[in-house]
């Protein structure tokens, strides 16, 4: 059983509105922690597979072999970018063989490079969107939770002072319990906001680094395919 002045006794002795606010904040906090853990797992896999595939891309000479290897790296944005560019090249080669033989004209090569650029940009946007998914929730929790907690605190203090006015007693012994209960909401808001803010900033920076790596890889793929035409 909790002591009368313990943190949990303050939590469970509040009114129904205060308990509802605390439930909302606890739900936001639990969801934030779930997202933080899920993002940690996702980005860990992405970094590992990107690193492995990038080494294979530079090592292997055959585009077909690289394409086959890319199918094994489903969590790698780099593998997905190469997959898309290779498919675009395959369609171009088939069209060229059906209509113009095996020799591509400068105009056709230029059109291919434009198509590759658009395809790589499309895949980049898809992968960046996948990496950023649910980060917005962390941003919302980090910015909104302190205000939700402060709102609960203000209402609690108002209620405490109203009770003091009705009782006509102004001693600290009477004021302190009500204010303590009100401040629990602020503490809960900060407990929800701080991990969400830290997680958002850390993962945002990591995703930005992955974006730079994807853009550099797109240039590598374009240069390599251009040399083969």
Chain-wide mean pLDDT for the chain?
A: 84
Q: What pLDDT does residue 178 have? A: 66
Is 1 inside a domain boundary?
no
Determine if the pTM surpasses 0.85.
no
Is 211 inside a domain boundary?
yes
Is 99 inside a domain boundary?
yes
Q: What pLDDT does residue 1 have? A: 40
Q: What pLDDT does residue 73 have? A: 94
Domain range for 66: 14-228
For 195, residues 6+ apart whose C-beta sits below 8 A from its C-beta are 29, 32, 33, 36
One digit per residue, pLDDT tens: the chain, 229 residues? Answer: 445 545 445 554 556 777 888 889 999 999 999 999 999 999 999 999 999 999 999 998 888 999 999 999 999 999 999 999 998 888 887 777 666 555 666 777 778 888 888 999 999 999 999 999 999 999 999 999 999 988 888 877 777 777 777 766 666 666 666 677 778 888 889 999 999 999 999 999 999 999 999 999 999 998 888 777 6
Q: What pLDDT does residue 105 have? A: 66
Is 4 inside a domain boundary?
no
Is 139 inside a domain boundary?
yes
Q: What pLDDT does residue 13 have? A: 54
Question: How many structural domains is the chain composed of?
Answer: 1
Q: What pLDDT does residue 2 have? A: 43
Is 7 inside a domain boundary?
no
Is 39 inside a domain boundary?
yes
Q: What pLDDT does residue 154 have? A: 84
Is 8 inside a domain boundary?
no
């Amino acid at each position: 059983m909790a002591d009368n002045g313990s943190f949990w006794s303050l939590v469970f002795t509040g009114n129904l509105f205060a308990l509802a606010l605390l439930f909302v904040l606890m739900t936001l906090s639990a969801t934030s922690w779930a997202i933080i853990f899920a993002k940690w797992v996702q980005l860990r896999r992405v970094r590992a597979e990107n690193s492995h595939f990038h080494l294979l891309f530079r090592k292997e000479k055959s585009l077909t072999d690289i394409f086959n290897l890319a199918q094994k790296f489903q969590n790698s944005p780099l593998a997905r970018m190469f997959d898309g560019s290779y498919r675009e090249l395959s369609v171009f080669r088939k069209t060229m063989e059906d209509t113009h033989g095996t020799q591509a004209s400068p105009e056709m090569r230029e059109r291919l490079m434009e198509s590759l650029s658009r395809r790589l940009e499309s895949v980049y946007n898809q992968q960046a969107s996948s990496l950023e998914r649910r980060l917005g929730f962390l941003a919302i929790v980090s910015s909104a939770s302190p205000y939700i907690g402060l709102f609960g605190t203000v209402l609690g203090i108002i209620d405490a002072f109203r009770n003091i006015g009705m009782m006509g007693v102004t001693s600290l012994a009477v004021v302190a319990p009500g204010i303590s209960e009100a401040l629990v909401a602020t503490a809960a808001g900060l407990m929800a906001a701080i991990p969400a803010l830290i997680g958002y900033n850390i993962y945002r920076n990591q995703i930005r680094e992955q974006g730079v790596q994807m853009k550099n890889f797109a240039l590598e793929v374009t240069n390599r395919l251009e040399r083969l035409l």
